[in-house]
């Protein structure tokens, strides 16, 4: 049976080459139905689902709900164990056999399960290291389903692997990374194991000082802050400059990281790197519009190329992020929640929007508030 085509997370520049590019992204619901197309026909650009905006008070109520643990649980249900997903073979020989796990690891499975509770996790942990955030962004931008991406992340970060630092990932070698990905029962295991190694090599070459600096991606952050500061207080221009610096550092210097991964990285790192706050990518705003929180910005079409179109697109996305942040700030006035920093709250809001959209739960969340009025 032919595999289903999967809806991926990133759009815009990352989708300019449609099929056949490694920049395609992955955050999607596994349950997406297949779309039929004639041979050689490129898939049409996904249009934002039209939805009427909610009355203002309902928008505020919905935003308060989206920041609750209940909404996060709906957006990110428990990941089911793998069911033997198999890579399509690159040749007639088929995929490589699964690597054998060391006996010591197999014997410590019970202990590993206990230790996994303290492992860094996505999306529940809002303060992962920048290096961990980069790994997550890379995995979620792969041409696999959102749930497979989440399962890959959980397996890599949890015992017995715990590949959460550049040194641990490097020490694992390609075979250790393959073992983790086989345990995750994901797809594209061989290629992903190689790309994770390339990320470690790129980060190590870029951040030569210490392991701590490599985990913090200090060089990348420093360049983003330097470029943002040159814009002297212009919010849109400074964020655009910071994004340009991050993109140049990650895409140009690290093999296997594309614009799609950069978008996810910026969405997730903005609570730790103020130079890019507030930031919301196209998909986040699309799902906010589906929920009736705002109107989707009218962005330039894919056929519109060049610096002017890019600046228009970025400007409208930054304006959309500003509008969504202002609405969230209003919804939190006089309210008590678990967020001490509005940047944490904004990152969590975007996490939930993405999860609800990819799980096809936006109608459920909107209905929750409409019925409570």
pLDDT digits over 273-303, tens only? Answer: 999 999 999 999 999 999 999 999 998 877 7
- pLDDT for the residue 115: 54
pLDDT digits over 130-188, tens only? Answer: 999 999 999 999 888 899 999 999 999 999 999 999 999 999 999 999 999 999 988 88
Tell me yes or no: is domain 128-270 CATH 1.10.340.30. Answer: yes
Q: Is residue 125's pLDDT more than 90? A: yes
Q: SS3 for 336?
A: coil
Q: What mean pLDDT is predicted for residues 340-351?
A: 97
Query: Alpha-carbon Rg of the chain, whole angstroms?
Result: 20
Cβ(138)–Cβ(273) under 8 Å? no
- pLDDT for the residue 18: 41
Residues of the chain with CATH 1.10.340.30: 128-270
* Number of CB atoms found within 10 A of residue 236's CB: 16
Six-digit token string for 265 = 């990285």
pTM score of the predicted model: 0.80
Q: What mean pLDDT is predicted for residues 241-254?
A: 95
Cβ(200)–Cβ(170) under 8 Å? yes
């Amino acid at each position: 049976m032919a595999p289903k085509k999967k809806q991926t997370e990133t759009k815009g520049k990352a989708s300019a080459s449609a099929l056949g590019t490694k920049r395609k992204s992955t955050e999607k619901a596994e349950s997406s139905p297949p779309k039929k197309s004639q041979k050689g026909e490129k898939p049409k650009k996904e249009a934002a689902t039209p939805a009427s905006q909610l009355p203002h008070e309902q928008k505020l109520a919905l935003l308060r709900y989206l920041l609750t643990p209940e909404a996060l649980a709906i957006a990110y249900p428990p990941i089911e164990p793998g069911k033997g997903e198999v890579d399509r073979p690159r040749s007639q020989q088929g995929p490589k056999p699964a690597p054998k796990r060391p006996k010591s690891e197999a014997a410590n499975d019970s202990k590993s399960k206990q230790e996994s509770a303290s492992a860094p996790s996505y999306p529940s942990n809002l303060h992962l290291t920048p290096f961990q955030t980069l790994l997550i962004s890379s995995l979620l931008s792969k041409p696999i389903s959102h749930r497979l991406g989440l399962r890959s992340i959980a397996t890599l970060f949890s015992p017995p692997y715990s590949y959460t630092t550049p040194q641990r990932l490097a020490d694992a070698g390609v075979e250790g990374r393959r073992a983790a990905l086989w345990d995750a029962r994901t797809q594209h295991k061989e290629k992903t194991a190689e790309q994770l190694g390339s990320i470690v090599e790129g980060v190590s070459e870029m951040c030569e000082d210490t392991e701590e600096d490599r985990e913090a991606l200090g060089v990348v952050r420093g360049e983003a802050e330097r470029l943002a500061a040159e814009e002297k207080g212009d919010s849109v221009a400074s964020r655009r400059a910071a994004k340009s610096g991050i993109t140049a550092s990650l895409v140009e210097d690290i093999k296997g990281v594309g614009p799609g991964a950069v978008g996810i990285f910026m969405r997730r790192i903005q609570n730790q790197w103020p130079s890019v706050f507030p930031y919301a990518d196209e998909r986040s705003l699309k799902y906010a519009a589906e929920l009736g929180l705002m109107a989707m910005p009218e962005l330039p079409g894919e056929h519109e190329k060049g610096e002017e179109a890019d600046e228009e697109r970025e400007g409208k996305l930054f304006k959309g992020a500003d509008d969504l942040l202002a609405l969230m700030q209003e919804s939190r006035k006089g309210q008590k929640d678990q967020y001490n920093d509005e940047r944490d709250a904004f990152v969590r809001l975007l996490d939930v929007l993405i999860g609800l959209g990819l799980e096809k739960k936006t109608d459920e969340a909107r209905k929750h508030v409409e019925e409570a009025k």
